[in-house]
Chain A
């Protein structure tokens, strides 16, 4: 559960930075294609997005895992939920990382 609290606090901090970055210019301008791509080309920001992706995936799927464990019990079911959540986390992180990498390297 410490992971859950830690990822929540980390995500709140990084989402705050993410929103503040939108405020450095007009909000509609910040969403222009060139500006969005420029964010991914800026390595520290791209790294922050990657960390944010990991924090949110772990937090979200761990939360879902806990809800499902509270709904039903049983050793096979619990194992299934635990491994299923880990797999879902890994898949989402891999897919999100792919997007960050592709945008960063200019691959469309």
Chain B
């Protein structure tokens, strides 16, 4: 017969180290800066009560509600759909709404604006270049004929055709991949993993006829060849998109391995 010994309350508290997820209060360090006024980045620290399910965004909003409403942060959907709340959380680019504090295994959570983007204020960064590069890739189906005709209502795609680009259509333009990209840190003119993955998304779509146009755009001195295949873009994507793979596949088209 198995004997189960129940630890006494004093033993229990000694044997179990207090893990961060059980902690009720954490220190939230927020990077504060205002480059337009020449203000260098400093960290403001706040003690935040947290639950198992508290996200980093909720902690920041708690600061805004209770301590300092002037903290600048961009957010909207709170469910990893809009891509607004990208920031560096404990040094790693992530969505604040999609990162639970309990997952960070630390009682100190540091939030900073994303790398490789101009800072507007505090945690809010300027997305102008990301959106402009995205637009440069012509993110739409290019073809002469319209799919809405009396004879044909839609262009039929097989599941295999869809599979070629589906994951790349999940991009929410949060900019985390560009923030993690080491090439973007030195080459400010680089298109970036987001733009290149979107170029691949349309090139691989068999309804699209703008392949040559797009390949010409990415085959630039600051285009696809500047990727060093570090793969950090794919590591940080919250939607499971693999921009590093898209870039390699796109190179296949340029080198003639893929048609």
Contact = CB atoms under 8 A, between A and B. Distances in A.
B221 interface: yes
A4 to B, nearest CB: 8
B255 A2 contact: yes
Interface of B: 183, 186-189, 219, 221-222, 225-226, 254-255
Nearest to A65: B221
Interface stretch (A48-56, A67-75, A90-98): A67-75
A89 B189 CA distance: 26
A19 B152 CA distance: 64
A2 B255 CA distance: 7
Contact of B187 (A1, A2, A5, A69): A69
Contacts of B254: 2
A1 B187 CA distance: 17
B189 A73 contact: yes
Nearest to A73: B189
Contacts of B226: 66, 70
20 contacts: A1-B219, A1-B225, A2-B254, A2-B255, A5-B255, A66-B225, A66-B226, A69-B187, A69-B221, A69-B222, A70-B183, A70-B186, A70-B187, A70-B226, A71-B186, A73-B187, A73-B188, A73-B189, A73-B222, A78-B221
Contacts of B255: 2, 5
